[in-house]
Chain A
Amino acid sequence: MPFAEAGLEKLARETRKTLLLLHSRAGTSHIGSAFSSVEILVSLHNGILAKEDVFILSKGHAASALYAVWDSCKIGGAPLDGYCRDGGVLHGHPDRLRCPGVAASTGSLGHGIPIGAGIAFARKRDAKKGRIFVLASDGELQEGSVWEAAASAGRLGLDNLAVIVDANGLQAFEHTENIMPFSTLEPKFLAFGCAVETVDGHDFGQLAKALGAVPFAPGKPSVILAKTVKGKGIKEFEGKLEWHYKSPAAADLERYLLELEET
């Protein structure tokens, strides 16, 4: 493993540890969705996102992962002890008017890509620099607004827009495969005028290569289909629907933290 990747692995481990503590303390849901996004978020915040770039977490239910990555990567943001606490600053879904660093408030699925397309369009008109990265979930792609935005971004040639799909295969009450199979995603995005790359969403090398290559093709929005595992990092969580909802019990924390150390 190259030295840089080893550093990122460490950051990912730190992030997951923080997430265990955050979710356990606050008793909040969506730790599985947060865990599947960790490598993607760590990659974005290490050498990908430039000052003029914008990041929108369209899968707003993974907000804790964004906060935890900010913390691990020593990037501003708000103190983690305010996460889902009375009077705190960090909501379960990101609120740009409450938490500094949040580009767009999300929480309901299917909103981030149209907003990102609007930012990308305005930037094109102003000939302004910067890429707009939007992280969406695979379940989110069932929203019609995603495809309205994809068609629109395609025909407007918004190559300053990049959509990353955290394809963890599990949505709130079903395997995503039973509703919108993964194999249908690439042809759909291609047909809508986007350029598509598929990567292992836990592999820092593949992520860096794909994210660094945005835009993939001039005049086309980039789509990165990142295959991930829901709950990645703790065997007990991995691929389990209930970890969309459960939070780690305090009594189990030590065991989970140890598991992270050993991997």
Chain B
Amino acid sequence: MRAAFAKTLLGLAEKNPDIFLLTGDLGFSVFEEFKARFPLRYLNCGVAEQNMLGMAAGMALEGKTVFVYSIIPFLLYRGLEQIRNDMCYQRLPVKLAGVGSGLAYGTAGGSHHAVEDIGVMTSLPDMAVFAPGDPLEAARLTEFSLSLETPCYIRLNKAGDAVVHTTETIAALEPGKPAKVFGGASRNVIFAVGNMVPEAVETAKLLKSRGREFSVYSVHTLKPLDEESIAGILRSSAVVATIEEHAARNGLFSAIAGVAAKNCIRAAIYASALPDSYSHEVGSRQYLRRLYRLDRDSLAEKLYAVKEGG
């Protein structure tokens, strides 16, 4: 997904001479080509995120389209006030591209995990939040971000993401609107976000093999949230599940539950999310997913036990 982002950015920069890339000293094996092709529009700001974000805002004031890249917690939290005051409050369309969603940096430990970023970023007024579910969504949403007049956050996974879209479904993708990536007209639905979308599809496949049909939606845009289409899906669903590699509070579960409550839709929403506590377990993402029952087997087992209308 990171590679898809880098490739898309390269293509966009080719056409748009105002596109700049700032990095907080990260991007090894990702941005070498951008740096070589556009040396004057690339800046390694060093390990100094506050200044990087402030500079991005200043450059946006000069009409530049600035992408700022780092590992999610460093990108968002060190300079959160710069994001709030310099970008959101001033409505400057800087694009924050964070890498390493959820537990992507598994063994690196909790300092590198991004388990509350959706909550933090969707809380900021004037901020748009995207969490692409596969490399095709990452490319599409990166392109779309150019049309925004306010700042946005693009929550990227790292590498090795499965593609869940087809040429047709990605062509039909509407920014803002959840994209159906698996299943037919099932009355059971899984909403998944970002890096959990491929795992949700695998979960649905396992469930299907055991006779339970679930459709899977990628909620690639958390903000603005297309409440109308989500309410429509909720109304016609018997079982509703959310899957996210993020805390349930202020993540996908909260978003979907909010739409249900606002629209008086009675639904038990089966949330699969990370606990409300930082992980101190040492392990790969796969190991941690199994531990927190976010792997396809655990998810399928949980949802298989849910009775329709129950």
Contact = CB atoms under 8 A, between A and B. Distances in A.
Interface of A: 95-97, 103-108, 110-111, 113-123, 125-126, 144-145, 148-149, 151-152
A148 B58 contact: no
B263 interface: no
B59 interface: yes
B130 to A, nearest CB: 23
Nearest to A120: B58
Contact of B51 (A97, A107, A125, A149): A149
Contact of A122 (B52, B59, B82, B85): B59
B76 to A, nearest CB: 16
A152 B55 contact: yes
Contacts of A149: 51, 54-55
B53 A119 contact: no
A110 B41 CA distance: 25
B64 A122 contact: yes
Given A119-B58, A119-B62, A152-B48, A145 B82 contact: yes
Contacts of B48: 148, 151-152
Contact of A114 (B40, B41, B50, B62): B50
Contacts, number: 93
18 contacts: A95-B89, A97-B90, A104-B57, A107-B85, A108-B81, A111-B85, A114-B82, A114-B86, A115-B58, A115-B61, A116-B58, A117-B58, A118-B60, A122-B62, A148-B48, A148-B51, A149-B51, A152-B51
B50 A144 contact: yes
Interface residues of B, number: 30
Contacts of A113: 54
Given A107-B85, A122-B62, A145-B79, 19 more contacts: A97-B90, A104-B61, A105-B89, A108-B81, A110-B50, A111-B82, A111-B85, A114-B52, A114-B57, A116-B58, A117-B54, A117-B55, A118-B55, A119-B59, A122-B59, A123-B62, A144-B50, A151-B51, A152-B51
Instruction: Give me the 7 closest cross-chain CB pairs, A-B, nearest first.
Output: A118-B58, A114-B54, A118-B55, A148-B51, A122-B62, A148-B48, A145-B50
B87 to A, nearest CB: 10
Contacts of B53: 114
Contacts of B64: 122
B90 A118 contact: no
Contacts of B58: 104, 114-122
Nearest to A96: B90
B25 to A, nearest CB: 12
A121 B59 contact: yes
B209 to A, nearest CB: 54
